[in-house]
A and B are shown apart, each in its own frame.
Chain A
Amino acid sequence: MKAWAFAVVVSLGGGVASDQAARVAVSDISGAAGGETTVLITTREAFSLPAANMGEADRARFFLGKSFFNQNWIEAPASVSSRDGLGPLFNARSCSACHFKDGRSQPPASGLAFSTALLHISLPGRGAHGEPKPDLIYGDQIQNHALPGVPAEAEVIVNYEELPLKLDDGTVSQLRKPVYVLRALGYGALPANLLVSARVAPQMIGLGLLEAVAERDLMLLEDPEDENHDGISGHLNRVWDERQGRTLAGRFGWKAEQPSVRQQAGAAFNGDMGLTSGLFPRENQTQKEELLVKRASGGTPEVEQQVFNAVVLYSRSLAVPERRFPQDPECRAGEALFMQAGCSKCHVPTLRTAEIADLEYLGKQVIHPYTDLLLHDMGAELSDERPSFEASGSEWRTPPLWGVGLIPTVNGHRFLLHDGRARGVAEAILWHGGEAAVARGAFARMSATERLQLVRFVESL
């Protein structure tokens, strides 16, 4: 009990430490995960609604953004110039291809090719700002689609190795480890020392809230040298901000490689769909590919500024759904176990958003994202051995847990972790290593009933 009360206090920046405050926090954590932005809808539309406290004018822009988020982009030139410019190389025709219903994508089954997941690639070393060093021909991600008449870069095939794992009570749990194969290379051989990292698309809820947490609050959670000796040594990623031309705290992406929703959106338009924007005015081809492929542009930029802004507003304002069955006794037992096992040291239950100038409704909210947005060493088993800015191969950003229990409702699957290897909450926990090895060990030592309770709690978020 004490451990998690501590986490709550830390996340609020100190100042509340009495038992009374701890009790207050219990009922608080029970429901309004996104503060006043929270929506009470927990259906298939749970990830697709605007922040509940949004005003009329922003609602109009929200729905404009939504239409561009869902629609297919097409080859240029086309009669509808507001949505042309796709490719020539791309992973998807729309944002919703991977963030279906604003939710989470899944990896293919064993032996099949990627369709809504993607593979980052790079060479050993770093780029000018600390980013992964792109391959000279293929760049920093495999685009598995291309316009007619243009070779796609490659097909990415996944194969899973089953790994039986014995828990302390004798239960044998099956984990599966992905191995990636690149096939049908469109632009020649890849170097032998290529680094790869697979990613699924996460749910889009509450991004503007996470962006609105003051950097100082996150820095208070940092403990890179583990000076409090709790075994946890999280730190912020420090990444390049394209617009400001300087290094900022990373918040978004599986290794927190992006400093803002705006840059994340721009990078996705560019890298995943082959669309230029004010922020990323160049196509996603490398110079060598440009020599091989020339295609009509869909305008300069292809994503017009008004459209881009609307999609960013949309992405920042998707509401967090309320937590389900908070009063369920199993769930409450699971919550206590979650805290006792130390999960909440990184999956921090409560943060506060600062006052912000635009989208003021996202500001000054008490939120329950269950993340600290920090990088943590997750151990060798989860390492992709592909560093990105200040994140090492084994370091990953604590992903928010809000909405995790609704992924089956919205997206019809239970795949978790950056590459979707875990087939549910329990497997995801069992993959935790490194700093999280102690918490994982605690979970493995629990009785079957306790494990179910903990999973039920996570699925209530």
Chain B
Amino acid sequence: MRFGIARVVTRWLLVVAMLQWGCQSRPRSVESRELERRVVTHYAELVLATYQDTVDAARDMEARVEALVSRPSELALLDAQKAWLRARNPYLQSEAFRFYEGPIDVLEMRINAWPVDEAYIDSIVSNLEMYPQLSSETLASLNEKEGEANISVGYHAVEYLLWGPDTEPKSAGNRLYTDFVSATPFGKRRGEYLRAASSLLTRDLETVSREWLPGNSSNYRARFLAQPSTQALGKMLQGLGQFTGAELLGERLTVPYQTKDSENEQSCFSDNTHNDFIYDLVGVQNVCLGGYLPSHGSPLKGPGLCAWLGQAEPRLAREVETSIQASLGAAHAILPPFDQAILGPDTAAGRRSVRATLDALTILRSKLEKASSLTGLGASAGRR
């Protein structure tokens, strides 16, 4: 009994000690504090650049959606679909900025919620009586109402409207442009819905992006930079840990691998899920290595999380870097479409490619957890 309590107390003292180490007490050299500062400042730059590209791409998609809705044609539909695919790439890279109560966490459920229950969206489209106007506000108020699958807005709601249900095993959804013409039942309504959802998505991304603009003393960036650097680093690490562990490894890879059910793949309508993994991991790499390749202009380069980690734990920093590369390599090797790759026996080439990504991400998660516990920061997946 005494032993049990003593053990708990020891553990607590250890945690408290580590937190203090992380926050202040351990004497750190001027260079080390300077590097912390630079890593955090550069991170803010990198976040902003990623969100600016995300907003630009969403605006471009909104314009093409507008063209499709006002004059539906096969070409206009294809154009909007291509814009959606382009818009995903910067957004996916920004997902590494989630899970520490930053600006994205406030709106994420309106931006990237999944898996979408398409019947829910169809029921809103066809219910003229309850929803005479399909405005952005109406759609936002219906999002995640009475259940996490009741998703009415965001990238994946737009994806469903652009591609339609994923009924063909070998290809993406088979939406026809005629689904948006007024002669088709609810065609005009579907267009209205798509327009409102796409507009809301752009507005929400703009809101998130504004929080990271410099020169505003009251936005999130100002608060992020004003806190002690170790606290900001802790958030970066916490976000990466939770995103890699619970989200990517858990919900996005393990569940579809186990269920072999396309309902559990993130971008099922467009069959773009393999790219989700690739660009998500590029985002993780960006934070760790401090690089970002913007849509326009020269590459962003500066000290990343690994530069800071490498000071105290050079070996672990290298391991994190290597395991990101291994995960990226494995994700590139997933045989698309993802919903076919998860099928068949475990020896099938597709399943082996998914399994390899799963294994690589398991290693990456454990390295990030180790980084959390060694530095006393981040609490990546909650392990002490």
Residues of A that sit less than 8 Å from B by CB: 12-13, 15-16, 21, 24-25, 27-28, 30-32, 35-36, 38-41, 43-45, 48-50, 52-53, 56, 59-60, 62-64, 66-67, 70-72, 74, 80, 82-83, 92-94, 96-97, 100-101, 115-116, 319, 352, 366
Chain B: how many interface residues by the 8 Å CB criterion?
Answer: 42
Give the docked Cα–Cα distance between A44 and B144 (Å): 15
Contact of A40 among B1, B2, B263, B379 (CB under 8 A): B379
On B, residues with C-beta under 8 Å from A are 1-2, 4-6, 8-9, 11-12, 15, 99-101, 105, 115, 117, 119-120, 144, 146-150, 238, 242, 246, 250-251, 254-255, 258-259, 261, 263-264, 362, 379, 381-384
- Residues from chain A with Cβ under 8 Å of B1 in the complex: 12-13, 15-16
Check A52/B384 contact, CB under 8 A, given A43-B101, A67-B259, A366-B4.
yes
Across-interface contacts of A66 in B (CB, < 8 A):
250-251, 255
Judging by beta carbons under 8 Å apart, are B148 and A70 in contact?
Answer: yes
Quick check: A28 and B9 within 8 Å, CB to CB?
Answer: yes
Given contacts A72-B120, A82-B261, whether A96 and B147 have CB atoms under 8 Å apart is: yes
Q: Choose one: A49, A64, A94, A319; the contact of B148 (CB below 8 Å).
A: A94
CB distance from A143 to the nearest CB of B (A): 14
* Contacts A38-B382, A53-B383, A80-B263 given; does A70 touch B149 at CB 8 Å: yes
Contact between A92 and B255, CB atoms less than 8 A apart: no
Report whether B255 and A64 are in contact in the complex, using a CB–CB cutoff of 8 Å.
yes
Q: How far is the CA of A83 from the CA of B263 in the complex (A)?
A: 10
Q: Which 8 A-B pairs give the minimum distances between C-beta atoms?
A: A39-B382, A40-B379, A63-B250, A97-B147, A52-B382, A96-B148, A72-B149, A70-B148
B246 touches A49 (CB 8 A): yes
Give Cα distance in the complex from A32 to B119, angstroms.
42
Say whether B149 contacts A36, CB under 8 Å: no
Residues from chain A with a CB closer than 8 A to the CB of B148 are 70, 94, 96, 100-101
**Given A45-B99, A64-B254 in contact, is the A21-B5 Cβ separation under 8 Å?**
yes
Residues of A within 8 A of B251 (CB): 63, 66-67
Residues of chain A within 8 A of B238, CB atoms compared: 41
C-alpha spacing A48/B99, complex, angstroms? 12
The one of B120, B259, B379, B384 that contacts A36, using a Cβ cutoff of 8 Å? B384
Q: Which residues of B contact A13 (CB under 8 A)?
A: 1
Asked if A59 contacts B254 (CB within 8 A), the reply is yes
B140 to chain A, nearest CB (A): 15
In the bound complex, do residue B8 and residue A67 qualify as a contact, i.e. CB atoms below 8 Å apart? no
Find out whether the CB atom of B382 lies under 8 angstroms from the CB atom of A63.
no
Known: A64-B255, A70-B149, A94-B149. 17 other contacts (CB 8 A): A16-B5, A25-B5, A38-B384, A39-B381, A40-B379, A40-B382, A41-B379, A44-B101, A45-B246, A64-B254, A64-B258, A64-B259, A71-B115, A71-B149, A72-B119, A92-B146, A93-B147
15 A-B pairs with C-beta separation under 8 A: A13-B1, A15-B1, A27-B12, A45-B99, A53-B383, A59-B250, A60-B258, A66-B250, A67-B251, A67-B264, A72-B119, A80-B261, A82-B259, A82-B261, A92-B147
Give the contacting residue for B255; candidates A25, A45, A63, A101; CB below 8 A.
Answer: A63
The answer to whether A93 and B250 touch (CB under 8 A), given A60-B258, A64-B255, is no
